[in-house]
Chain A
Amino acid sequence: AQSVSQHNHHVILSEAASLELGCNYSYGGTVNLFWYVQYPGQHLQLLLKYFSGDPLVKGIKGFEAEFIKSKFSFNLRKPSVQWSDTAEYFCAVNAGNAGNMLTFGGGTRLMVKP
């Protein structure tokens, strides 16, 4: 069965610091990759997605992620975080042999100090 690992459970940064959140998945075939964000008190929202093509994808609010197939990774990055980026971030994978289900990582809780 496929699985998704997010190595950092809690991250604390100061404003303007750079962010990188790790995501690794276990599946050798074709995958669709997603990052979702959950702001305090709000529902899950899609940040960005990768289906095919350019492995560097750009999402909303200045976030980007890079798909490295050889490393089974899809790390999320932002050059300069803001206090409003405080949220929980979830990496998710859909693999070709798993139908339409998304498999989520355990999430990373980011706190940005003003």
Chain B
Amino acid sequence: DTGVSQDPRHKITKRGQNVTFRCDPISEHNRLYWYRQTLGQGPEFLTYFQNEAQLEKSRLLSDRFSAERPKGSFSTLEIQRTEQGDSAMYLCASSSYGGQYEQYFGPGTRLTVT
């Protein structure tokens, strides 16, 4: 399968702990996106990379959140000092570069902060 993959699929953590999620995009895609989805809502944009450069960050991305894509391939999203409000599905998507693009989504990582 050559789709977008995410790891882990589920994460339960205690408030105050740090967590890190990984996303592997479709291999030929050089754009990678992170979104967050809470229950009953549509996904909300967090941040976006083109190759290894982080080009956009949403105001939703507080200082406790950091994302990297060191070699322009996989990406990690770290949340420090988790809070209960961080509980959500974290989605990764990738797309190829071009004037017209579509984003392909991974299965997501469901985070529960207790």
A74 CB → nearest B CB, Å: 14
Does the CB pair B100–A104 fall under 8 Å? no
B8 at the binding interface (Cβ < 8 Å): no
A99 at the binding interface (Cβ < 8 Å): yes
B35 CB → nearest A CB, Å: 8
A102 vs B52: C-alpha distance when bound (angstroms): 20
* Interface residue count on the A side (C-beta < 8 Å): 23
Residues of B contacting A100 with CB < 8 Å? 31, 33, 48, 55-56, 95, 101
- Residues 61 to 114 of chain A near chain B (Cβ within 8 Å): 90, 92, 99-107
Interchain Cβ contacts within 8 Å, total number: 56
* Interface residue count on the B side (C-beta < 8 Å): 26
Does the CB pair B43–A90 fall under 8 Å? yes
B62 at the binding interface (Cβ < 8 Å): no
Does the CB pair B42–A104 fall under 8 Å? yes
Residue on A nearest B100 in the bound complex, by CB: A51
Chain B positions within 8 Å of A, measured between CB atoms, are 4, 31, 33, 35, 40-45, 48, 55-56, 58, 91, 93, 95, 100-108
Does the CB pair B104–A101 fall under 8 Å? no
Residues of B contacting A6 with CB < 8 Å? 42
Partner of B58 from the list A4, A44, A101 (CB cut-off 8 Å) is A101
Interface 0/1 of A28-60, CB less than 8 Å to B: 000010101000001111100101000000000
Extra pairs beyond A92-B42, A106-B41 (19, CB < 8 Å): A43-B4, A43-B105, A43-B107, A46-B102, A46-B103, A49-B102, A51-B100, A90-B43, A100-B31, A100-B33, A100-B48, A100-B101, A101-B33, A102-B35, A102-B43, A102-B103, A104-B42, A104-B43, A107-B42
